[in-house]
Chain A
Amino acid sequence: MNIAETLPWWAALSVAFLLVLGGLVALTGALGLLRLGTFYQRIHGPAITVTLGAGCILIASMVYFTVAQSRLVIHELLISVFVLMTAPVVAMMIMRAAVYRDLRKEHADEAGDGAADA
């Protein structure tokens, strides 16, 4: 006998809906990494995974365990808070590294052209 079978229908329905939605959003984020052309566009793909995708799955987890164990289970909130505090920093670091790399490359190209002209 599985715990999942004893869930009331409304909890099962909302958990299933949130899990499917979260999974689809995470898939879309990954698809963005695959489909988008430039680096600066690709950096926007995972942002939807860490916000809405992770959010939906965490809410589903909270609903499922709260109903299944008949007590308030909300420590998933901590995961969301830490993800929302750390993911932006990572995105900013990667973005600045990319901008720095491009600027340096441009600089090197200019210097290279100058040397070729002279």
Chain B
Amino acid sequence: MKRWLPSPILSICLLLMWLMLNQSVEPAHWLLGGVLGIAAPMLARPLQPHGYAHIARPLALFRLLWLSLIEIVRSCFNVSQIILFRRSEGVNSQFIRVPLDLHSPHGLALLSCLINSTPGTVWVEILPDTHELLLHVFDLHDEQWWIDTIKSHYEQPIIEVFEQPRHPKQGEGT
């Protein structure tokens, strides 16, 4: 099982991608998509230095993506409003530092995608000495609010999704 399907979720995604690309649910396309889903992860295995991500809690991942989507739409309107109605000099664009506890490379990749997809924030880099995230914020009003939001809304759920839970009960239903 482990040898033939190193990452079942990736295989399912590849199969779905194939079916969508061909816009067909004929048995032949299921077969071809299935072959793609099994062969591609096996062939690409040596290209993944960290191995495939182990998603401990898929439901938490979907919840995180859904909340991020809402946040993206909300930020879109905020940024549009600033672009349309405010003068460029009045916008307080700043770099801020967010201390991170997240170490999983897959988790960091997901975090960077979510932060960069949200208009108004751009990930610059992780400072290697202190493991702090350097972030550029379009219109900064309260640095502590940003740090708290990123830590509680993004980092904590990602730790739950990717890393083995140390306190299984914590974070349940929040």
How many chain A residues touch B (CB < 8 A): the figure is 33
Interface of A is mostly: helix
Looking at the assembled complex, report how far the CB atom of B164 sits from the nearest CB atom of chain A, in whole angstroms. 26
Does B119 lie within 8 Å of A47, measured CB to CB? Answer: yes
A35–B119 CA distance with the chains assembled, in angstroms: 17
Which residues of the partner chain B approach A36 to less than 8 Å between Cβ atoms?
83, 88, 91
- Measured between beta carbons, the chain A residues less than 8 angstroms from B93 are 38, 40-41
Listed stretches B53-61, B120-128, B141-149, B150-158; interface member: B120-128
Contact B123 A35 (CB under 8 A): no
The majority secondary structure among interface residues of chain B is helix
A91 to B83, CA, bound (A): 18
Q: Which of A3-11, A12-20, A82-90, A108-116 contacts B (4 or more CB under 8 A)?
A: A82-90
Contacting pair B122 A52 (CB below 8 A): no
Contacts of A41 in B (CB 8 A): 88, 91, 93, 138
Choice from B84, B88, B89, B138 contacting A28 with Cβ under 8 Å: B84
Q: How large is the interface on B (under 10, 10 to 19, 20 to 34, 35 or more residues)?
A: 20 to 34
* A75 lies within 8 A of B120 (CB): no
CA distance A115 to B146 in the complex (A): 41
A48 touches B138 (CB 8 A): no
Contact with A along B82-104 (1 / 0, CB 8 A): 01100011010100000000000
By beta carbon, the residue of chain B nearest A78 is B20
Q: Footprint of A on B, CB under 8 Å?
A: 17, 20-21, 23, 72-73, 76-77, 79-80, 83-84, 88-89, 91, 93, 112-113, 115-120, 122-125, 136, 138
